[in-house]
Structure formats: structure tokens, C-alpha cells
Structure 1
Amino acid sequence: MSSINYSNSNTNPSIILNKFFKLLLISGFIFYIIYILLFFNPYYNISTFFTKSSPKGPELATSSFSPTNISDIVFSIAGSTTTWWERTSYIESWWKPNITRGYVFFEKNPQEITPWPKYYPQFRISENTSKYKDYDKHLFRQAIRVTRLILETFNVENEGVRWYILADDDTIFFVNNLVDVLGKYDHNKYFYIGMNSECHASNYYHSFEMAFGGAGFALSYPLAKALVKNLDVCLKRYPNLYGSDHILQSCVADLGVSITQEKGFHQIDLHNDISGLLSAHPQSPLLSLHHLHEVDPIFPSLNRSESLNHLVKAAKIDESRLLQQTICYHKPKNWTFSISWGYSVHVYESILLPSILRKPLQTFTPWSKSAKPFFVFDTRFPSKNPCEAPHVFFFDSVERGDYVVMSYGRSKARGLPTCTAGGNHSADSMSKIYVLTPRRKHDLIGGKRECCDVVNIKQGMDATEIKLRDCLENEILPP
């Protein structure tokens, strides 16, 4: 057997070990230089160097789950057997049998109709609340019952739920818009989404941090679960609060959660003619309307039920644009057009700025005059000045072709002289306005208003055509 020759420089262990340490030192020096260059570079975040290729990085935090759809939402509707049959037209306008999920809760069995119609939500009888008799003198029995609806709904619907919507039986929802808006939020976190009242007194006497139940509000699943676990404790904490929505808001606050406001929820704590409000809707998708039985019919030529169905007709064409305000100008005549899509068009015989037109005309009165200012938003007083008073047109009919063509007809004669300051161009003869809309959906969420052009004024036919379009980059109105 021959012995190993350690004199060979290529196989001598000490030489190999020395080469290894030299290589290690050189590699360490190179990595050190790279680290110094990155660390002291003010334009480079070193943390992204190590995480940027990771599939679990923060850029995927909100895109790791599927988009929200209608099956992820459960509605909990507070009903009453004394008013339900007067309000069925409200629920019929938006409820989608076999698509929408949820229940209407009654204080007792509604025995007037058997069997229960399939095109209504399933009904349930609210649980007995007699255990609260010790402080019943403080809490209204109805408030206890309605507050507990989130618990009763959670107990029967908690699989595959992202959002719970609580509302009254006279609340009208625009479900497609609701899905789009809730899809902005991470349903795995605590969210309490709704809106205040339009009337200052209502907020003053209840809470400016409260989502009003008539308008409806949304609770994310984790928040609903936490509320259910602590609800009886919470009811005992607040025996002197008036309404269920105020009690729930207080319970939510105890969990460390504040309201997230969405302006598309509408309590409608108003009276009389709300056309001024609907003609200058906030730049937000329309989500709900409440108290329509307390105001004038929203279309003056129709009754309340017909008016609701007429508005829904426009919503079925394009819910994303419903009531969204678009403003454009016809400079040759110095006319201004303010369009509330699917509802109304106001024509002014002068150039009025968008900052003015976005303020609703105060055609309505407050729910209560016990606190001032009356409203929580800016308004304009109706004027008899012919340069400030609009010619008013309401949604009449709709046709589909290459464009969606909305027809608006004059409500009534304005009854004022022509605006001389605008060039003495009367719009009295105009009887029809046609608004041409692209068939694609308008992405209002996170975006801005659409723009429009007056493309044709037909003198002999007393009609005007307006075409909606995307606003140009850096476009300012009026041009």
C-alpha cells in the first residue's frame, strides 16, 4: 500500500485551508462594499432589496383575496307588521330573489299573507327580549329588539360572509354600487361604514359619530363577531340611549372602532321636495335612500311608488352613474348644463362655476329646526334671478344603441324673463334634452366626475344633444 504524498501543493490541507479563508475574506469584503453603497444611498430602501421578490410582500396585502360580490353580503332588515304591507314596494325595488342574502325581522308573525311570497326576503320573528325587563323603563322595547338583530342574523348566517348590512324596511339599496364600494375595504379588519344624517339636529341629538340605521350601514365580519360576543354587556352599559343605531355605535366605539363615512348612504332626514339634493349628489356612488314616504314624489309627474320604479329603471341601465353630476357649457349662448344622470338636467342661461353647482338647491326643509345650521352640507337658496334660476328637466325615457341615450323632458315653464347678462339667449323653447352616455361602466371610485360636450342644438325640434366623455388631463371647467 502506498502512502499519501502531502508534499503535493494541490492536495496539502493547510494550503487548501489558506485559500478558503482568502476566498472568504474577499467575498466578505465585496458584500460589505455592496452593503455600504446601498445603506448610504438616500434613494434606495434597502428593505426592498430583500423583500421585493417575495410573493408575500405588502403590495399583495389587499389583492390576495377575491373581489367582493353580492353573495358575500348579508342584509338584516328591521321590519314591523304594522307598516310592512305599506312598504313592500321599497323592498321589491331592490331585493333580488335567490341572489341577495338576508332576512327581515318582525316583532310577531305577519299572518296576513300565507304562504310568504318568494320574492321577499325570508322572515324571522325576533327573539324574546323579556330578560331586559329590569331596565325596560329606560330602553325602548323596539330599540332593544332592533339592536339585537345583528346577533340574531349572525347566528343564522355566518358562513362565507364578509359584510352585514343593517337597515329599515323602508330603505332602498343600490346593490351593485354597494358591492363596488365595500370592495374597497379589507373585510378581514374592523370596519363600521355608514353616514350621518343630512339634518344637523338629528346628529346633534344623537351622535355625529353614528351611522344612521335608516340609511343603512355595514359591519365587517370580524367586527360583527366581536359585537355579538359583547352585545348583552353593551346593552346594559347604555340603558338611556334612544335608538338602536346609537346603541350599536356606542358598542362599536367600545371596541375601538370609529365610523368610516360613505356619502352614498342617505338617511333623508328632510321634508318636501328633495329634487335639489338629488340633482347635486355628492361625488360618490349612490348606495341607499330612506324616508321616501316622508318627502314629495321625486318625479313631480308621478306618485311615490311610480317615482321609485322610474328611478330604478335608470339604475338598471347603469347604476354606477346614477345621480352623478356632470357639468358642461355651450359658450355661443353662454348656457350651463348640470346633469344628474338618470334623474334631472338643469339649464342655466349664464355661465355658473362647478363650485357653485355642486351645492344643492335648497328645495327641501329640515327634519327638525331645533338646531342650526339646518344641514350638514352647503346649499343654495332658489333664486328668481333669471341668470341663476334653472330650467328643470326630468328623466323621461332611455334607449340603448352604440350609446345609452337618456331623454329628459321639461318639468314646467320657468316663468322668468331671459337672462340679459348672459347675452339674452332664451332657453324657453327647449323641451327635450338627450344625454348620450358610453355603454362602459364609469369607475367613479377613486376617480373624478365625467365631462360632457353640447354636440347639437336643434333649433326646429327644440332639443339639445349632450355627449358624456372622460375629462381630459388637467381639464378645467368652464373651458
Structure 2
Amino acid sequence: MGTSDIFKYFLISLLILYILFISFPTHLSTFDLMSSFKSINNKPPNSNSSASSSSPTTLRHVVFGLVGSEGSWHHRRRYIESWWRPNATRGYIFLDRPPTGDLLPWPDASPPYRLSENLTAFLQETKAAVPFAVRIVHAIMEVFREADDGNLRWVVMGDDDSIFFVDNLVDMVAGYDHRKYYYFGAPSEFIMSNFWFSFAQGFGGAGVILSYPLAKALAADMDNCLRRGAQIISADHITMVCVADLGVSLSPHRGLHQVDMHGDISGFLSAHPAVPILSLHHFDHVDPIFPATDRAEAARRLMKAAAADESRMMQQTICHHKQNHWSLSIAWGYSAHIYERMMPRWILQKPIETFQAWAGLPRPPPQFLFNTREPSRDACEAPHLFFFREVEKTPNRTLTIYSRAAPRGLPVCWWANSVSADNISEIRVLSPPTKRTEMDRAECCDVVLEGEKAEVTFRECFSNDTLAV
């Protein structure tokens, strides 16, 4: 081939490349073009009719798989019944043996029950280190098999003392493509729990959320998965390992709470971040979260507030009353604090460490995956404590009322110009009646004092609002 022929071949090649280039959208890169060609022959099959649906995700597309025991269900069912919606919520409680006593006839307010499969032969074959852990993981397959009816998009696994905020959870998963592989969960709040097991696993009591294709793949590989993980002592760790074997990693979500703590967790709950709360776990291992209640009553009171507005539930809003030099911190639907001093947000956003570490001997800090404040008897740092009592909802606003827990028993803050808040017996919070959907910025609030009551009005922040002090 002569030089002129080579030159002609080169020009023709350039012309062909140019025609191909202008035939594709200009926003695609070379990598995108290659991926487009490859995807034609590599699209995953859709064997489920709902998986190919573009309709909005609703509660009917979500199934809950709760694992517990017959012995504990007699009292723990009250926690689940606080949020369960008969004839609306889909799911099952898996028991180790048939119900007895006050569980007969089976309560209408409880999820329908199923007996966990008899895994005796499998456990003997694999010499499983912790049989109960195998039963929990195996329940993923059992609930998937029960619920795969053409409408299933998401599988949520939890324990028999897991409290879920159903509307927030549905809103959360609705923002993701259920046809893709997702493994949502949360680490433990206690650092050592993550160190002992894994920082990359979802702790199951807080809730593990699996998209349809991932749940289907786990169910199909369940026996092999459990054989590979038979010597692992934690169900959550086995689940993470099996998910990892399918090429999927954890997507952490800050609204899921394992509650690996003991004692009074009010300090933790009163500083919830600006993200919709999805779950709370370990109600049996912490004090009742409201004063002068038992745990079941506390769960019902919490869900009473949630029924009015889950989108704001627990989220911390901070504002100041400059005339009295007060700072107010409101955990919507749960608690309200008044400080007799102007305090910056970055301090108030740290939970007060009213709670104890989950396990082990006392250790040097850090104990938790978040910064904390030590409880204080300093009159300028110790808050006046109020807790949610009742809610009223109208078309124009939602009113939540918080009552004082007890006298603070401290003098007035020594800070210049501070004013005592001892006379305040009630805090009334007015919030918009509409669901809050944008979480990029906290709400602002204005405070008006009326005798023994403080009235706080929530609103969207103006563009020039600054909350610095």
C-alpha cells in the first residue's frame, strides 16, 4: 500500500468516527458509549412483575420479617403493636414454637405469626456455632418466600423489640430504585460492637433493609450462605458476609438505631440529627423513654406523636430567646430542653451522655461513634427537662405539648443577664401541618413567653437566618 492509499484510509476512518460521534448524545463520554453497547446484552432479567414497575413505592411493596421467641413475645408484642397497622402493614413474626397462654387466640393487633423452619438436621450437619443466629438469617428466605407475590420491592428484617417508623421508612426506600441491589443498615452506636463484629455490617435489631433482587439472591443462595457462615457467632455478621459474597456493600442510614446502650437514653434521643428516624431497638435493655411510664406505654406515647407527623419525629430544632438569654432544643414529639444561657448549636447537637456503654468493663473514651457531652450540675449547662405529653392536629398547624419532668433544683445560671426558667411548666410547639421533605437545613423557630408557658413556632429558615450566638 502506497503513501497516498494510507492517507486515504486514514481520512475515511476519521470520517466514520466523526459520523459515529455525532450520532450519540453529546453528554455521553467514551466510557458511557462503551457501557451502552455492553448493557444491551447484559441487562439483568426481571422475573418479578413489580421489579419492572415504575409506579410509586407504597407500604404494600414492603414486607417486614421479625424474628423472636414465643417466650419473649408475651410482653414484647406491645412494642410491635405500637407501630404495626393491621390489614395495612405486611409481614410476619417468626416464633421458635407455637404460641400459648395469652397469645391464644392470636391477637388481631399483632403481625401474623409463622413458625421458623425446623433446621435441626442442617444445624447438625454444619455444626453451627450459634443455632439461633442461623435461624435469624434463614428467616430472610422464609419471609421472601411468603411475600413474593408480584408486589414485593423491599424486605425489612428486625427483632421482636424493633420499633419502626413505617411512613418514614417507606418514604426512604421510595427514593431508591428497588430493581437494584441495596443493603441498608446502621452500625452500632457502641464502638466496640463494631470492632468485635464489623464496621461494615447492618445491625439487625435496628433493621436491615434489602431490595428485591438482593433478597431474592440471598434466598436462592441461603443454604450455601449458611454453610459458609456456620462458625460465625452473629446473625448480623453472617448476613453481611453473605451479602458481600454477592458483591454488595452496606449503605449506612443515620435514621436506623441499634441502641446498643443501657440506662437512660433520653440524652441520645433528644439530639437526633436532621434525618427522618426509621427505627429504635433494644426497648427491653433501656429505661422507659418517658418519665413515670412502663416501656409499652412509652412506645405507645411515642407513636402517638409519630401518627401526627413522622417526618419531623425526634429531629432536633434549636432556637434562642434573646431577651432571657435562653437556648431551647426541641426533639419534636419527644422532648424539649431550656438552657439558661445562649449556647451554640454545635454544643447542643452533642447528646448528653445520660446512657451507659453496651458491654464490657469501663473503658477510656471514646465509647461511641458520636461526640457526647457529660451530664452537668452547672446551672448554665444543665437543661430544664420537658417531655412530650399530647398532640393536636388541625388543617393549619400541629401542636405538640411538653410538660416539665421535675424541678431542676439548681440556682439561676451565673452567666451575665441570665434569667431563671424555673417558672416554665409547659412548652407548646407549633409546627406546619405539612410533611417535611427537604432535610438539607434544619427548621428555625421563634419563641414567645406567656406566663408559665413557652410557645415555640417552627418555620423554614430565611436565607439570611443565622443561628450563631
Q: Which TM-score bucket, shorter chain as reference? A: 0.7 to 0.9
Question: How much does 1:161 deviate?
Answer: 0.6
- The answer to whether the Cα contact below 8 Å between 2:336 and 2:386 also exists between their aligned partners in 1 is yes
Structure 2 residue aligned with 1:28 = none
Q: Which amino acid aligns with 2:138?
A: R
Structure 1 residue aligned with 2:45 = none
- 2:462 is equivalent to residue 469 of structure 1: no
For residue 318 of structure 2, the aligned residue among 324, 327, 347 is 327
Structure 2 residue aligned with 1:214 = 205
Structure 2 residue aligned with 1:393 = 386
1:63-120, Cα deviation, whole Å (9 max, x unpaired)? 9822211000011110211111111101110111111111111122113343323322
Structure 1 residue aligned with 2:130 = 140
Structure 1 residue aligned with 2:116 = 126
Question: How much does 1:478 deviate?
Answer: 2.9
Q: Highest CA radius of gyration, 1 or 2?
A: 1
1:361-398, Cα deviation, whole Å (9 max, x unpaired)? 00000111456521111111111221111111111222
Q: Distance in 1 between matches of 2:130 and 2:111?
A: 26
Q: Secondary structure at the match of 1:118?
A: coil
Structure 2 residue aligned with 1:229 = 220
- 2:102 is equivalent to residue 109 of structure 1: no
Structure 1 residue aligned with 2:271 = 280
Structure 1 residue aligned with 2:59 = 70
Q: Secondary structure at the match of 1:313?
A: helix
Structure 2 residue aligned with 1:13 = none
- The answer to whether the Cα contact below 8 Å between 1:172 and 1:289 also exists between their aligned partners in 2 is yes
- 2:85 is equivalent to residue 91 of structure 1: no
1:250-303, Cα deviation, whole Å (9 max, x unpaired)? 000111111111111111111110000110012211111111121111111222
1:14-45, Cα deviation, whole Å (9 max, x unpaired)? xxxxxxxxxxxxxxxxxx9xx99x99xxxxx8
For residue 419 of structure 2, the aligned residue among 425, 434, 452 is 425
Q: Secondary structure at the match of 2:113?
A: strand
Question: How much does 1:137 deviate?
Answer: 4.0
- The answer to whether the Cα contact below 8 Å between 2:59 and 2:170 also exists between their aligned partners in 1 is yes
Q: Which amino acid aligns with 2:146?
A: V
Q: Secondary structure at the match of 1:91?
A: helix
Aligned pairs for 1:328-407 within 5 A: 328-370=319-361, 373-401=366-394, 402-407=396-401
Change (3 A) 1:420 1:308: same
* Percent identity (aligned): 47
Question: How much does 1:133 deviate?
Answer: 3.6
- The answer to whether the Cα contact below 8 Å between 1:334 and 1:350 also exists between their aligned partners in 2 is yes
Moved more, 195-204 or 394-403: 394-403
Question: How much does 1:449 deviate?
Answer: 1.3
1:190-223, Cα deviation, whole Å (9 max, x unpaired)? 0000101111121111111111111111000000
> Structure 1 regions of 5+ residues with no counterpart?
1-31, 40-44, 49-55, 57-61
Q: Secondary structure at the match of 1:408?
A: strand
- 2:441 is equivalent to residue 448 of structure 1: yes
Q: Which amino acid aligns with 1:469?
A: R
- 2:46 is equivalent to residue 46 of structure 1: no
Change (3 A) 1:114 1:385: closer
Structure 1 residue aligned with 2:42 = none
- The answer to whether the Cα contact below 8 Å between 1:329 and 1:478 also exists between their aligned partners in 2 is no
Q: TM-score, normalised by structure 2?
A: 0.86
Q: Which amino acid aligns with 1:411?
A: A
Moved more, 367-376 or 213-222: 367-376
1:341-376, Cα deviation, whole Å (9 max, x unpaired)? 011111111111111111100000011145652111
> Structure 2 regions of 5+ residues with no counterpart?
1-14, 29-35, 37-50
Q: Secondary structure at the match of 1:83?
A: helix
1:292-321, Cα deviation, whole Å (9 max, x unpaired)? 121111111222222111111111111111
Q: Secondary structure at the match of 2:205?
A: coil
Say what the alpha-carbon RMSD is for the aligned residues. 2.3
Q: Secondary structure at the match of 1:436?
A: strand
Aligned pairs for 1:290-301 within 5 A: 290-301=281-292
Structure 2 residue aligned with 1:171 = 162
- 2:429 is equivalent to residue 435 of structure 1: yes
Q: Distance in 2 between matches of 1:424 and 1:125?
A: 61
Report how many residues are paired: 425
Q: Distance in 2 between matches of 1:111 and 1:421?
A: 61
Change (3 A) 1:240 1:422: farther
Aligned pairs for 1:298-313 within 5 A: 298-313=289-304
Change (3 A) 1:68 1:265: same
- The answer to whether the Cα contact below 8 Å between 1:351 and 1:422 also exists between their aligned partners in 2 is no
Q: Distance in 2 between matches of 1:147 and 1:422?
A: 58
Structure 2 residue aligned with 1:182 = 173
Question: How much does 1:474 deviate?
Answer: 4.5
- 2:442 is equivalent to residue 478 of structure 1: no
Q: TM-score, normalised by structure 1?
A: 0.84
Q: Distance in 2 between matches of 1:170 and 1:143?
A: 16
Q: Distance in 1 between matches of 2:285 and 2:247?
A: 35
Q: Distance in 2 between matches of 1:173 and 1:157?
A: 19
Q: Secondary structure at the match of 1:433?
A: strand
Q: Distance in 2 between matches of 1:70 and 1:474?
A: 39
